[in-house]
Amino acid sequence: MELKKESNAVAIDMLLIVHSEKRRAAQGTHSDPQAEPDARLQRGGGLPGVGNGIRKWQKLEGNDLHGNLAEKQHPQQPQVITSYDNQGTQLTVEVHPRDAMPQFLKKFSLAKRLQSDKNGNTRPPQPGNKDAFAYPWDRSSLKSMPLDLHQFEKLDTYASQVTVKSGLDELVSDLLQEAHSDLERVRAIWIWICHHIEYDIEAAQEKDRQAFKPTDILRTQKANCDGYAGLFERMCRIAGVQCMTVPGYSKGFGYQTGQSFSGEFDHAWNAVYLEGRWHLLDSTWGSGLVDKVTSKFTFLYNEFYFLTHPALFIEDHFPDNKNWQLLKPPQSLRQFENSMYHKSEFYNKGMLSAHPDVSMIRTVNGKATITIESCAPTLFMFMLNGKQEHGLLSLQKNGMKLEIYPPTMGTHKLQIFAKGNSDIYSSVLEYTLKCNFVDLGVRLPAELHQPVGPSWFSEQMGIIKPSHPDPVIHTRDGRCSISFGVEEGTSVLASLHGDDGPITEETQRRYIFQLHREKRTELKVQLPHAGKFALKIFVKKRQEPGNYIFVFNYLLCCTNTKVSWPMFPESFGNWGQDNELLEPLSGVLPANRNVPFKLKLHGVAKALVKGQDTWPLTLSHEGYWEGSCSTAGCQEVYVMVLENANHNFYSYILKYRVNTQ
């Protein structure tokens, strides 16, 4: 009410607050859940790569909501009179200058700011059906709302370069200079936090550490997960954007496949209200990671955790309140524990799904099969117990197929890596394999690298239309012939690898004889014995410097124990790509025999065979150089050519070894 006397009289505004003693007592024992948004959080761990604690936010002592120092002196302090009647009813009267806001109204205004946006609208209620997204993921987008990340390029650059000058108010004001919508305001705050706040490893390991205050975070530019989430919420409130801190469980540092969750929550993240709907983000995990070995934090921005689609966010974030899953239907804690954990890189690299979709796999007859579907062709690799062995990985147009054969019974760790659009392989999946049977007949060569079989990648590298599209080739007599088209200007190199002798580094190419016919390359292969072999294919652009690049390999299998093929003859640099050897194909010739020779040689004037003596080869009407030589009295036989009729210098092109008697 207002009392007026004469013109020189004072004006008195009176604010009366009346409530019961019971309610007054209750208020005296509970903190304001909005003023202290994280007071309900418990300690735990949250950053991928390190454990951290969720701390209760301390009350601001001498600080206002925005972390700025409150004025310690007031020109005119209001007078507050409080009395109670015998029924416990409280009557409070405040007397203050006419042009000043009542202190009690300031308190109500503060609460309203925490519950309303910049336009004074009341904060939306807890998430409901309109906020829920369908589960499982519909593959429509990694984000919970349509985003063109290119539209943020200018804003991201600007926000990442803003520096702290004084308090939180000025920082937010500076960030919003280039932000013109709630979405852009959230984006600017997100980018600044992810690029400036370092994860405090030491604080995360202190169980009883007090909460991070915004002023301390700005000063040290360090926080743990609740510090990230609390700071993000407060900055959003200053910017006039509705934001909540959400506590819960996470599959972060220390997570073991299939583990159960109970007790204190170990992480905190945020929900923001944009365009009439709640959305999820995690600035802790968006900022970087901690090396498990060195325990050092590295800023490594991760876009995945900005407005993540809830059906993907639930894979590693389980909130304390199921409504904050933003899913229809919501998932149970048991489902969260048992669900397959796809790392953020799984989706960042363009993966869509994996099968099996459970993290624990049992082998069947000693084998486990994993398939991955991707939205575009990509390269994969795997490691079983830390080694790239005991598996067949074949690339598919949109994904891959992996067959794993654990070498021993028991539990094994399988990691799958993908390359995506970058030059670096990243871990995208981890499985635990349970093996209760080992098929000893499926031992794979240690040199069998990934991938096996031709694919889109080999085609991209210049190898097209292979005669054998499947990665495994079975041969009964220990011989096979493989051909494929080769793009012009591309050179091909092949080598054979097995775990048992007699193949050595010097002879691994001698069991392959390479021929070229009309833009196709043929590889004639002779196996030295029964078993499994890796036939590795390399390519190189002739005009480009550097070494040959591995493209793929075949797995060659032969069960015939009578197989025992010798090496092919050794070829030298002057052996032309278009030359063809018909006979003899064996690199070891019998002693004291007349051996016929037949070759197709291009661009030569003369050809001869040299052993103990010299035997010329003649050019037939069919275009073959033919003749014979005796192996008597010699240990080696050479094929030599004269390329220019005006010269007398012959070049070695082939070398044979003569068997001893």
Residues comprising the chain, all counted: 661
Q: Specify the DSSP element, H or E, that contains 465.
A: none
SS3 sequence, 133-187?
EECCCCCCCCECCCCCHHHHHHHHHHHHHCCCCCCHHHHHHHHHHHCCCHHHHHH
480 is catalytic: no
pLDDT score of 632 more than 80: yes
Confidence of residue 590 (pLDDT cuts 50, 70, 90): very high
If you average pLDDT over residues 560-575, what whole number do you get?
A: 89
If you average pLDDT over residues 580-602, what whole number do you get?
A: 92
Confidence of residue 652 (pLDDT cuts 50, 70, 90): very high
Confidence of residue 62 (pLDDT cuts 50, 70, 90): very low
> CA–CA separation, 260 vs 554, rounded Å?
42
CA distances from 450 to 342, 378, 534 (A): 22, 13, 11
Residues 276-304: tens digit of each pLDDT:
999 999 999 999 998 878 888 999 999 99
Which residue is catalytic, options 200, 226, 282, 316?
A: 282
User: What is the predicted pLDDT for the residue at 577?
Assistant: 72
User: What is the predicted pLDDT for the residue at 24?
Assistant: 37
291 is catalytic: no
> CA–CA separation, 245 vs 443, rounded Å?
53
If you average pLDDT over residues 524-538, what whole number do you get?
A: 94
If you average pLDDT over residues 3-28, what whole number do you get?
A: 42
CA distances from 389 to 155, 359, 370, 415, 471 (A): 46, 20, 15, 12, 16
Kindly report the number of other CB atoms within 10 A of residue 335's CB atom: 13
User: What is the predicted pLDDT for the residue at 444?
Assistant: 94
Confidence of residue 81 (pLDDT cuts 50, 70, 90): low
Q: With a threshold of 0.85, does the pTM exceed it?
A: no
User: What is the predicted pLDDT for the residue at 350?
Assistant: 94
Lowest mean pLDDT among 8-17, 62-71, 191-200, 546-555: 62-71
Nearest in space to 491 (alpha carbons), one of 549, 416, 425, 408 = 549
Tokens 């691994």, residue located: 508
Go through the domains of the chain in sequence order and give each one's CATH number: 149-335 (3.10.620.30), 346-435 (2.60.40.10), 456-558 (2.60.40.10), 571-658 (2.60.40.10)
Which residue is catalytic, options 194, 225, 243, 480?
A: 225
- 352, HSE (Cβ side, Cα atoms, 13 Å): 13
Nearest in space to 498 (alpha carbons), one of 489, 490, 507 = 507
Radius of gyration, CA atoms only, the chain:
38
Residues 212-267: tens digit of each pLDDT:
888 899 999 999 999 999 999 999 999 999 999 999 999 987 788 778 999 999 99
Mean pLDDT, the chain, whole residue set: 83
pLDDT score of 503 more than 90: no
pLDDT score of 158 more than 60: yes
Confidence of residue 426 (pLDDT cuts 50, 70, 90): very high
**Angle value at C-alpha 290, between 287 and 293, nearest 5 degrees:** 165
Residues 323-346: tens digit of each pLDDT:
999 999 999 999 999 888 899 999
Share of the chain above pLDDT 70, in %: 80
> CA–CA separation, 390 vs 404, rounded Å?
6
SS3 sequence, 360-411?
EEECECCEEEEEEEECCCCCEEEEECCECCCEEEEEECCEEEEEECCCCCEE
Share of the chain above pLDDT 90, in %: 64
Which residue is catalytic, options 66, 267, 317, 390?
A: 267
11 or 268, higher pLDDT:
268
Task: Name every residue whose Cβ is closer than 8 Å to that of residue 178 and which is 6 or more positions away in sequence.
Answer: 154, 155, 158, 159, 184, 188
194 is catalytic: no
If you average pLDDT over residues 17-43, what whole number do you get?
A: 35
SS3 471: coil
The reply to whether omega before 407 is within 30° of 0 (cis) is no
CA distances from 437 to 364, 384, 433, 446, 642 (A): 8, 16, 12, 20, 61
Residues 366-415: tens digit of each pLDDT:
999 999 999 999 999 999 999 999 999 999 999 999 999 999 999 999 99
558 or 102, higher pLDDT:
558
> CA–CA separation, 649 vs 617, rounded Å?
16
